Amino acid sequence: MQNSEPPTASVTPTMLAMLLSLTIVVAYFAFILLVALAKPLLATIVTPGVSLGLIFAAGLLVFCMLASFIFVVMQNRKDG
């Protein structure tokens, strides 16, 4: 016996996915512009061994993980 139902798309673009993707892209390009145009600002030492650039880079990484987490939680609520 074969399943006669047509396959459904498992991935559909949602407004949440577009919004989170856009915020990640904007944050990434803002960081790249800071690296390109504001090197003295990013070279500011906050504590010995830690510069402002390192803090911004770690913040960008945490922001991307948080946005991914938000998307997964929202999609699981919608699907479950």
Residue 68 confidence (pLDDT): 93
Model pTM score: 0.75
Domain ranges of the chain: 16-79
Residue 60 confidence (pLDDT): 96
User: Averaged in consecutive runs of 10 residues, what is the pLDDT profile of the chain (80 residues)?
Assistant: 57 78 96 94 94 96 95 82
Which residues have a Cβ under 8 Å from the Cβ of 27 and sit 6 or more positions away? 60, 63, 64
